[in-house]
Structure 1
């Protein structure tokens, strides 16, 4: 059959040192489809600190055109997490889109026009170390003041899964918002752990990097639990996962939390740093990787333990879906980071100095 080079709109460029996945052909097609082939470019997909509102005084636009543009961009997030936050935000206005919402969607296309060939780089020699990052933009939704959840999971330096979702409840504090975000991330980590068991790898005590120390204290220290009864019970399974050493909570500086890219907008310099750090590269560009051997599974008890934990994760996920409303705009993609936060900082430093092959 030959080497795989194209799959469901994804371009697969296989090299000796890794695999590069992109959708630049698809980007060209949708730019041409919606008449944006000759538009001016934008440096970021969204203006800094500009919240989307209902904009009652603005005129309505063609709902079919708006939904078609959103649908095309949704599929593009399979390899472009850099546009995921704004696409999810714009998708919440598909019922009654206004001119202001359409202008934001057009800015995404302007950004794609300037950066059509970005994609995901999966290096061959990167270590098999599962790590995750969690973050929340507290009360970031201007309409209902719900927080936005962001999460991403890496296998070595390979981004393999990422999430962007508006929370279904209004958090009363940043600690609660970060705690709920961490619980979502934990559920995804447990699912990945269970899947990797089939390939013979044990990723127990997976590090979840959180930039809120209070949320970590709530998970680690039972003394704080009496003050968090208002947090829904469905999110408390993360404490069980921590006590059974399935995950490990790690404090990370906000500046180095790469999942910020999925929760809010930034200026050009910060945005470019996050895009490079989260694993997106231009074609034929790579960064330095850290070393570390994979861990093979040799204990059946691990399988049993994770099997029990997965039952609870499935139950919790069902609860999430049952309470999910159409305005939450969830997106989860699954397609690639150091010993601790200091080593993570050292690993991410070369991201600002990309070098071509």
Structure 2
């Protein structure tokens, strides 16, 4: 992505989010129950130079944003579903690490942890009764998230793009 396009995108983001605030407050003590939630969005073939997609993630603990990520995916995806799988896989790994950190600090984590995304195809294939056998081209490294969605450690939930906290 060219510098000019990146500058324009950043300016659009700032214009569209000028009414939002970042609020950080500590109101929990060790032993308390905390709620973790996440929002993820992915743009299919976002970078027109190499056709790689982008993943954007926001994670919060009890409403306080603790992580905000925008990362180019390492592989060129073949479909929006694959982009969604890669994005949810990234979010899932982050959520598992965040849950473990909170437990090590003595907090109880509300389960399952909601993982909001706007990719309905990826969500459908993460549901317990669905098979992802038809999506064989999706790399095995992203399929592990299905296991956590089926346990209920992580719960994928649909959210419209326009409501997504992770959308720029």
TM-score by length of 2: 0.81
Looking at structure 2, the residues matched to 222 and 190 of structure 1 have their Cα atoms a distance apart, in angstroms, of 23
- Indicate the residue corresponding to 1:229 in structure 2: 136
Structure 1: tracts of 5 or more residues without a match: 1-51, 54-89, 91-99, 113-117, 262-357
The one-character-per-residue Cα deviations of 1:276-306 (angstroms, maximum 9, x if unpaired) are: xxxxxxxxxxxxxxxxxxxxxxxxxxxxxxx
Show CA shifts across 1:293-339 (max 9, x none).
Answer: xxxxxxxxxxxxxxxxxxxxxxxxxxxxxxxxxxxxxxxxxxxxxxx
Size of the aligned set, in residue pairs, is: 157
Task: Mark the structure with the bigger radius of gyration.
Answer: 1
Q: Which moved more, 1:221-230 or 1:233-242?
A: 221-230
2:104 pairs with 1:171 = no
- Provide closer, same or farther for how the CA distance between residues 179 and 139 of structure 1 changes in structure 2, counting only shifts above 3 A: same
**Residues 1-357 of structure 1 correspond to what in structure 2 (within 5 A)?**
52-53=1-2, 90=3, 100=4, 120-125=22-27, 128-203=34-109, 204-221=111-128, 223-261=130-168
* 2:98 match: secondary structure: helix
1:103-142: CA deviations, max 9, x gaps?
x659969x99xxxxx9732134588311011110111111
| 2:17 counterpart residue number | none
Structure with greater helix share of residues: 1
What displacement does 1:154 show?
0.6
Higher-strand-fraction structure: 2
Alpha-carbon distance, 1:210 to partner: 1.0
Give the Cα separation in 2 of the matches to 1:163 and 1:216: 21
Q: 3-state SS of the aligned residue for 2:167?
A: helix
CA distance in 2, matches of 1:254, 1:236: 23
SS state at 1:259 partner: coil
The normalised TM-score by structure 1 is 0.40
CA gap of 1:108–1:208, structure 2 versus 1, over 3 A, is closer
Q: Deviations over 1:8-67 (max 9, x none)?
A: xxxxxxxxxxxxxxxxxxxxxxxxxxxxxxxxxxxxxxxxxxxx34xxxxxxxxxxxxxx
Alpha-carbon RMSD = 2.7
Q: Is the 8 A contact 2:128 2:149 kept in 1?
A: no
SS of residue paired to 1:121: coil
